[in-house]
Amino acid sequence: MQRHRKMDGFLENVLSRLGFQTTDEQRDILVLNVLLLGDKQSGRSSVGNALIGGQEFQTGACVSGVSVTTELQVLSRKFPAYFRRQGAESDLMLRVIDTPPAKLRPQSLQDLCPDGVHVLVVVVRVDQLTDNSQLLRHIENLCGPDWHHHAMLVFTHADHLEKAGLQPSVYLSQSSDWLRYLAKEVGGGVSFLDNSFDWPSIRGRPLRDQLLRLSAKNHHKALRLRSDQSL
């Protein structure tokens, strides 16, 4: 977490009441490193877009099992005056890391996030229920046994549930063991996302709020990555 405060909240309040504009630089900023985790075609990059409220993460179909977008992308987005803490407005900066699972290497992630990762976003498609406990083992190797306190689970392709007339809670109760286990374990809870609907900035808002609540639960402390293990 980075925190800059060049002027205290009281003085800022007085100035704004007197009609002075306070600039972005004078506000607190909370910077959160967010790591997207999920198989290719899970909708990982689309979740990244929802989180940053843009279209900059490349998304696309898979041709003969080869994803058209396999490169690591890191994008930052600042949301001015996004929330209040200790009585003062604060900006939120999300640094979102979208990396194909095959590139999940401790050293490269360590280089990308020397301060650690605040939130892990595990992305799963509602229509792909194959056992993915290998991904969970990967995460544990990378982040240690406490990783789930920093994790939230996002199901994409929620439009398929709607088409099938399935309520998310019914879907979850009937899904595979590893998914039900994961849903119960993650500190940030579960959400369902239809990426084919609405603008990323709009569908991303509840996700950003959920992410911020999770980080607050962890007092905005980052999870240190393990650099001593090879995956």
Q: Which has the closest alpha carbon to 75: 97, 46, 105?
A: 97
First to last CA, the chain: 27
Strands 88-98 and 73-85 come out as antiparallel
Sign of CA dihedral 62, 63, 68, 69: positive
**Min separation Cβ 56 and Mg ion, Å:** 12
CB of 187 to ligand GDP, least distance (A): 23
* x/- map, 143-182, ligand GDP, by CB under 6 A: -------------xxxx-----------------------
Residue 99 interface partner, choices ligand GDP, Mg ion, none, CB cut-off 5-8 Å depending on type: none
Q: Which is nearer to ligand GDP, 102 or 170 (CB)?
A: 102
Return the one option of ligand GDP, Mg ion, none that residue 188 interacts with (CB less than 5 to 8 A, by type): none
Rounded CA separation 174/180 (Å): 9
| Contact status: 46 vs Mg ion (CB under 5 A) | no
Measuring CA to CA, which residue among 121, 98, 135, 102 is closest to residue 193?
121
Phi, psi of 227 (to 5 degrees): -100, -10
CA contacts within 13 A on the Cβ side of 39? 20
Binding range to ligand GDP, per CB under 6 A, among 18-26, 44-52, 175-183, 214-222: 44-52
Using the rule CB under 6 A, give the single segment among 8-16, 34-42, 139-147, 163-171 that binds ligand GDP. Answer: 34-42
> What ranges in 128-218 are assigned the alpha helix state H?
133-143, 158-164, 168-173, 177-185, 200-217
* Residue 45 binds ligand GDP, judged by CB under 6 A: yes
Please give the size of the binding site for ligand GDP, defined by CB under 6 A: 21
- Residue selected from 12, 31, 33, 38 as contacting ligand GDP according to rule CB under 6 A: 38
- Between CA 167 and CA 172, with CA 168 as vertex, the angle to 5 degrees is 120
Instruction: For ligand GDP, give the closer residue by CB, 173 or 196.
Output: 196
- Residue 69 in contact with Mg ion, rule: CB under 5 A: yes
Give dist(CA 223, CA 147) in Å, integer.
Answer: 7
Min dist CB 39 to Mg ion, Å, is 10
Does 33 bind Mg ion (CB under 5 A)? Our answer is: no
Q: Does 45 bind Mg ion (CB under 5 A)?
A: yes
Given the rule CB under 6 A, which residues bind ligand GDP? Answer: 38, 40-46, 59-61, 67, 69, 156-159, 193-196
